[in-house]
Amino acid sequence: PLLFCSSQTASSAQESLIDEERRQEERRRETRRTSRVLSDVHWPLTGMSGSRDSCDSDAFILDDFDYLGDGDGDGDGERARGDGYQRTNRSRYGYSYSYSYLLDGSTAWSSRILRLLPPRWRRKFAARRHSKPASRLSPSGTYRRTLRWLVTASLCLTAAVALLWPSYTHRPAHYNELKRLAVGSETPGRGNPRNEKVFITANIYDPDGSLAQSQWSRSILQLIDLLGPENSYLSIYENEMNEQARGALQRMADETPCNHSMVTEEHLDTAGLLHITLPDGSRRLKRISFLAEVRNRALRPINQAGMPRFDKILYVNDVFFDPVDALQLLLSTNLAEDGGATRYRAACAVDFINPFKFYDTFASRDLEGYSMGLPFFPWFTTAGNGQSRRDVLSQSDAVRVRSCWGGMVAFDAKYFQNQHQHQHQHQQHNTTRFRAEPDLLWEASECCLVHADIQDPPSAGGEPSADTGIYVNPYIRVAYSPFTLSWLGVTRRFERLFSLPHDIINRLVGMPWHNPRRTEKPGDLIEERAWVENERGEGSYQTVTRAAGTGGFCGNRALQVMKPHPQPGEKTWELISPDMF
């Protein structure tokens, strides 16, 4: 029994040795297999020369940043996948392909340094390296590169146009000559070589007196100095004012060196103006009738006894402007070829509510009576012959139109002043005045209608005149704030770039808007449905016959009425839909 037990013990020990040798052999094979994998991965990056057949590998082939060994030689290192480098299996023939040899020398050195780092740092570094190629290839990266390219190209194009091809920047020679006279000395009247008589007028709403003590009043006084006090007359009318506003206007009057009239009223008597009864029974004043009356009151002094014969009238809104620009509008617009007097019935500036947006579209119409396009350069549409738009793009200082205002307008005074000085001031049968349309549900700006009344009507065939004598001068620009005025010299330089998108958007939105009265000729009998009031203030739609007037191209179907009791800071008027009637 002892011998039998001894033999069994020896047999068990031998089997244990065999099992241990078998396990050691398996570990050695696993170690060799792992070594081949690492060798297959790293040999191109560690300076080994010659070629290597990938058939020797029977494992996954990873590039240097996909396989991260932990440095302990047991082959249980982590494998990291990235978007730029991916693990690949053997092909159907047992081959696995590694592209690590395509990496450049700098990557080889980085791989050597990477193996010296702790495993945690290597994983972070590999993740960061993987994220860069992914961002370059992702759609968002492509969009960002495209956007950067477009922005860069746009900025370069804008700079090139602003420097090499600026819009309305280089004025005609006679403009520069007049400016040289204006800034060359301090002699009163230095900017008026022909000693033309100018009637300067404005109606303002200045409840706190800030306008009368602002850059606006200083610009007017500087303009009077350029024209000469003996050649100028200033008329300002203001209503709905308080003592503060009256005091500010009086201080401006004290500083005015020429003859002047400063008329102030707390409340304007509107009894004789056009009113309308709304469906709710309230009686309201039509806004255009009110505005026309206010503007006419500012013009009243021109026909007073003893007034000289004026050559020009300059009507100024509450806009900020350069006095030299106003001088050039008066004395340089559409100058005769022989260098003599100007040739216009009316010449308008261009007014801006911000550095890009044209403001006074309500009163402006192109040469064929079409309304304006989008309120940025070149302002007019291509409707009809598109002559006004072509004049703007050709950089003309006399863009032909049928009406305009633009915050500042120069008129030939003969249309507004009595021809005979002995005529009584109320006998103004031959003079033009601001007015409103009599139709209750049709609105047209008083500033447009006054141009309709001083121009020749269309020919018998209905064709518009090739030149109405009414012009927009885009060299002269004014603004409703000093900030906007300071930017107009910059934004005009590259505004040519707006012409193509302006035309495209106009067509997409359907501008200019349709006006059924645009082609009417004065005296034509027109039948239409209109709102007619009775004696009790009530009314109904009826078919009526009316005689066409001169300003059909100015209006549209609308109703603007004054608010009876506006709150401080609130608009003094409101728009009523004609569909309420």
Q: Which pLDDT tens digit goes with each residue over 264-293?
A: 988 889 999 999 888 888 889 999 999 999
Q: What is the pLDDT of residue 516?
A: 94
* HSE, side-chain direction, 13 A CA sphere, residue 518: 18
* pLDDT single digits (tens) 148-201: 999 999 999 999 999 999 999 999 999 999 999 999 999 999 999 999 999 999
Q: Residue 200: enclosing H or E segment and its boundaries?
A: strand 198-204
pLDDT of residue 421: 54
Residue 345 in this model has a pLDDT that exceeds 70: yes
Specify whether the CB–CB gap between 488 and 424 falls below 8 A.
Answer: no
**197 or 68, which is more confident?**
197
DSSP single-letter state for residue 77: -
Compute the distance between CA of residue 111 and CA of residue 105 in angstroms, rounded to an integer.
Answer: 10
pLDDT of residue 30: 73
Distance CA 522, CA 140 (A): 63
> Can you tell me the distance from the alpha carbon of 75 to that of 8, in angstroms, rounded to the nearest whole number?
39
Sequence length of the chain is 581
Q: Which backbone phi and psi does 293 adopt, to 5 degrees?
A: -65, -40
Query: Could you tell me the CA-to-CA distances from 65 to 80, 110, 122, 124, 127 in Å, in that order?
Result: 7, 10, 9, 11, 9
Mean pLDDT, rounded, for 303-323? 97
Banded model confidence at residue 88, pLDDT cuts 50, 70, 90: very low
pLDDT band at 563 (very low <50, low <70, confident <90, very high): very high
Are 383 and 366 in contact by the 8 Å Cβ rule? The answer is yes
Residue 129 in this model has a pLDDT that exceeds 60 = no
pLDDT at residue number 17 = 73
Give the sign of the dihedral formed by CA 477, CA 257, CA 298, CA 469. negative
pLDDT band with cut points at 50, 70 and 90 for residue 477: very high
> Which range, of 30-39, 113-122, 478-487, 512-521, averages the lowest pLDDT?
30-39
Residues 241, 223: Cα–Cα separation, whole Å: 26
pLDDT at 459: 64
Q: What's the distance, CA 95 to chain centroid?
A: 65
| 257 in Cβ contact with 229 (< 8 Å) | yes
The segment with the largest mean pLDDT, out of 107-116, 128-137, 403-412, 527-536, is 403-412
Residue 317 has a pLDDT of 97
Amino acid letter, residue 201: T
Instruction: Report in angstroms the alpha-carbon separations of 82 from 46, 103, 129, 137.
Output: 22, 16, 9, 13
pLDDT at 411 over 80: yes
Q: Which of the four pLDDT bands, split at 50, 70 and 90, describes residue 45?
A: very low
Q: How confident is the model at residue 70 (pLDDT cuts 50, 70, 90)?
A: very low
pLDDT at 219 over 90: yes
Element (H, E) at 343: none
Q: Mean pLDDT lowest for which of 255-269, 505-519, 562-576?
A: 562-576
What's 342's DSSP letter?
B
* Widest pairwise Cα distance in the chain: 163
Q: What's the whole-number mean pLDDT along residues 246-262? A: 96
Taking the CB of residue 35, how many other CB atoms lie within 10 A of it? 12
State the pLDDT confidence band at 41, using cuts at 50, 70 and 90.
Answer: very low
Strand 346-352 and strand 365-366: pairing?
unpaired
Query: Quick check: 34 pLDDT over 50?
Result: yes
What DSSP string describes 420-470? STTS-TT--TTS------S-TT-EE-HHHHHHHHHSPPPPTT-PPPS--SE
pLDDT band with cut points at 50, 70 and 90 for residue 471: very high
Contact 57/49 with Cβ under 8 angstroms?
no
Model pLDDT, residue 551? 94
Residue 206 has pLDDT above 70, yes or no: yes
Average pLDDT over residues 421-434: 62
By mean pLDDT, which of 16-25, 263-272, 332-341, 465-474 is the weakest? Answer: 16-25
Helices vs. strands in the chain: H and E counts, helices first? 13, 19
Give the per-residue pLDDT at 84. Answer: 40
Q: How far apart are CA 79 and CA 67, in angstroms?
A: 5
3-state secondary structure of 37: helix
For the chain, what is the mean pLDDT?
83
Q: How confident is the model at residue 113 (pLDDT cuts 50, 70, 90)?
A: low
Q: In the chain, what percentage of residues exceed pLDDT 70?
A: 76
**For the residues 518-541, what does the mean pLDDT come to?**
81
Instruction: State the residue for tokens 């401006």.
Output: 252
In this prediction, residue 501 has a pLDDT band, given cuts at 50, 70 and 90, of very high
Q: Which helix (H) or strand (E) holds 198?
A: strand 198-204
Lowest mean pLDDT among 13-22, 290-299, 372-381: 13-22
C-beta of residue 344 within 8 angstroms of C-beta of residue 470? yes
Q: For position 1, what pLDDT does the model report?
A: 42
Convert the pLDDT of each residue in 438-470 to its tens digit. 888 899 999 999 999 999 877 655 566 789 999
Averaged over 493-512, what is the pLDDT?
A: 97
| Residue 373: Cβ within 10 Å count | 24
> 429: Cβ–Cβ under 8 A, 6 or more apart, which residues?
none
Q: 381 falls in which pLDDT band (50, 70, 90)?
A: very high
Q: Residue 33 — pLDDT band, cuts 50, 70, 90? A: low
